[in-house]
Amino acid sequence: MDISSIVIAIFILIVDIVVITIDLKHKLIIVGKNKYRIIMPITVIIFIIITALSKEFKIQDIIVLIEILPLAFVGNKCGITEKGLLTNSYIIKWGKIESYSLKEQEDKYILCYKTNVGTKKLCFKNEDKDAVKKYLLGIKELRYSRK
């Protein structure tokens, strides 16, 4: 196993640990819908298939494949936590949200929020509409809300 393979394996292991820690640390109060949740598992499965079909399959490839599997299924959570909004293993704390708005669209309830990075959307089930409204109104760190 050469140095570049060892560095890649260590990097992937660190990313696995960070993502799993974030997901375990931030429990979801209200679960949201992640419209891109299928992209990461498909990408990892395609990578595994291509690597397995290659003619130069080595032991370091097996190690990388084992380490990359958790990335396919962890980190796809999104929703509301106690500390902020969780989207794809990234927490946006309540103080960082400049404004937010809530709207209904067909079978979704959408929370649009603006941070210093830009505007993002988080989707919820229509049944969770009242719970989302009630929880967001109880957050004191939210500076501005429009309805």
What is the arithmetic mean of pLDDT over 91-97? 88
122 or 77, which is more confident? 122
Calculate mean pLDDT across residues 125-144.
82
> Which comes out higher in pLDDT, residue 88 or 21?
21
**What is the dotted CATH code of the domain comprising 78-146?**
2.30.29
Tell me, what amino acid is at 42?
I
Q: Which two tokens stand for residue 102?
A: 């809530």
What pLDDT does 144 receive? 55
pTM of the model: 0.72
Residue-level pLDDT at 83: 87
Please, what is the Cα angle at 30 between 76 and 107, to 5 degrees?
85
